[in-house]
Structures are given as structure tokens and as C-alpha cells.
Amino acid sequence: MLDVSHFELIWKPQSPAAPAGVANVDSVIQGYFLEITNLEDSEYVYTVEFVAAAVTDTNRSLSGNTLVFVDTPAADNTAGFLSGSINATVFRPSTGGIRIPARSTALIAVLPSAFGPNPADMTPLAGPTFEVRGYVRLRLPALFRPIPGSFFGRFVPQSEDPVRVLLTPQNRATYFTAANTISDQTQASLPLASGMALNTVAPESGRFVFVPSTVLATESVGRQSQEVVDATTASAIFAAMADEAMDIKDLNAQLKEAGIGLAVERRSTKD
């Protein structure tokens, strides 16, 4: 995991109050842009996380108030949003992991939700009342792989060594007059948490997991998928054991083969 930079998303008047004798003040809409260059000779999948304080004011939350565009050499401006509830503190692009080919660059743009409605922004902000600040993290998640013919899957590290990346974060802002016409546009580079443009991201470690067959049927990518698997682990075990057709002996053999020091048995219960 690597802390990248601060972020600030705004759609607000430039002043909390209008000067005496002035009806309205100019407003600004500001987004966060991050370029990630994969300097290695292999393709990697990255996860970008936006961390902000938990709030109750919807105008101070990323939940439902953002629009995301991910541009890679293979996909032109894939649209999505930052997923997370009003109580969340960590938000991730709904577009999933960011797959960057070797020696290539991706651009992630996160904007206040002021451009809808469209399929990625069905509930746009109604007016310039939005501002959220926090920081951005970059991860190199282990990727989920099912084990064919098994109740198990595993998360596989993408690399044995830290992966080199070039990072360029920016604020980009558009200014509107009180008459709602564009008056100016600016962009400014943000300081990186490391103080350097060249950084390394440590790969997340792998592990075995017990997963339901519905999850095994689909290859999922990234840490967000890992959380889904973790949330269903216990219920999957009990549901599988409750199935009379399940071969407990076979399950225990799979546990042993996976290196898990655990064995299960089926017992009847009395009312």
C-alpha cells in the first residue's frame, strides 16, 4: 500500500458569502486527476482508494456525489463512480481494478457529480454545495483465482518484489461566473506523500479461502472482491455442510491438500 497525495473535490461558490451589494459570487468545480505509469515489463492491476472522514452531511460525503473516468491504453474513459455508503471512510472506483500494461500510463479522474444524468451519474448534485477532502492510497492487490474442482480459491500476489510506478496527481478546476458561464480553467500539481514522483508499491500477500461455488464461477479482481469473499466465508461453510449430498470426506481431503489444519464432521441435532 502506498499513500499518494491529498485530494480536494469541490463544487462551491468561491466565497462563503457575497460582498455587500453583490447578488452572487463566482463558483468553482474542482476534480482530482491521477496519472499512474507502470514502469515494469509486466502488466499489473492496481486499486485506487479515496479515504475521507465519516460524515452525516450528504454534501460532505463522496457517497453518491462523484463521477469517475478511467482511461487506459485499452479503454477510453470508462465511466463509473466512487462506491461506498454514507458511513464509509474508504471509497473505490466502481469500475474495479485498474489494469495497466507494461510501460504504460493510466489516468483516473474523479469529479463532483455535476454532469448527469447519465448511466454512471443518475443522481447528479442539484447545485454548488459540495466539498470533500481526504487522501488517496494505491494498492497492488493479490488477484483471486479459483482452484478448479475445489471449494477453495486463493489470492495470488502479482509480484514477488515491489513494483515501480510514476505518479502525477493534480487538481483541475473550472470557474464559472455568477451568470453561469466559464471564466477560467486551471490545473495544479499536488505534492506527493513520498516527496518523489518515482515510487514503489509492495504487492499484497496471497492466501487460501473457502468460497461458495457461485463465487468460484467468476474470476474476481482486487481487494474489493476479497472483501466479498471474506463476508461470505462463514455462511458458505455452514451452507455447504448442511447439504446432505456434500461429501465431508472429500471436503476434509481438500482442506488437508490446501494446508489448512482443520477437519469437519456432520452431526445431527435434537429439537
Instruction: Report if residue 40 sits inside a domain.
Output: yes
pLDDT interval class at 52 (50, 70, 90): very high
Residue 98: what pLDDT?
Answer: 94
Instruction: Report if residue 67 sits inside a domain.
Output: yes
Query: Which DSSP state fits 176?
Result: E
Instruction: Report if residue 252 sits inside a domain.
Output: no
Least confident of 10-14, 28-32, 194-198: 10-14
- Give the SS3 label for residue 87: coil
Question: If we measure between CA atoms, which residue out of 108, 139, 137 comes closest to residue 222?
Answer: 139
Least confident of 34-38, 99-103, 113-117, 198-202: 113-117
Instruction: Report if residue 267 sits inside a domain.
Output: no
Instruction: Report if residue 271 sits inside a domain.
Output: no
Residue 7: what pLDDT?
Answer: 98
Least confident of 43-47, 171-175, 205-209: 205-209
Maximum average pLDDT range among 120-124, 136-140, 237-241: 136-140
pLDDT interval class at 106 (50, 70, 90): very high
Instruction: Report if residue 61 sits inside a domain.
Output: yes
Asked whether the predicted pLDDT for residue 21 surpasses 70, the reply is no
pLDDT interval class at 257 (50, 70, 90): low
The more confident residue out of 42 and 216 is 42
- Mean pLDDT computed over 142-148: 76
Q: At 215, list the grid cell.
A: 463465487
| Cα–Cα distance, 92 to 223 (Å, whole number) | 10
Question: If we measure between CA atoms, which residue out of 12, 10, 28 comes closest to residue 66?
Answer: 10
Domain hosting residue 187, numbered range: 2-141+158-205
CB 262 within 8 A of CB 255: yes
Neighbours of 201 (CB within 10 A): 24
Q: At 76, list the grid cell.
A: 477510453
Residue 182: what pLDDT?
Answer: 87
Q: Which amino acid is at 168?
A: T
Instruction: Report if residue 123 sits inside a domain.
Output: yes
Query: Which DSSP state fits 46?
Result: E
Asked whether the predicted pLDDT for residue 37 surpasses 90, the reply is yes
Number of domains into which the chain is organized: 1
Average pLDDT, rounded, for the chain: 81
Residue 39: what pLDDT?
Answer: 98
What confidence tens digit (pLDDT) does each residue in 59-86 have? 999 998 999 999 999 888 999 999 999 8
Asked whether the predicted pLDDT for residue 173 surpasses 90, the reply is yes
Handedness of CA 76, 81, 84, 87 (dihedral sign): positive
Instruction: Report if residue 236 sits inside a domain.
Output: no
pLDDT interval class at 208 (50, 70, 90): low
- Mean pLDDT computed over 17-26: 70
Residue 97: what pLDDT?
Answer: 92
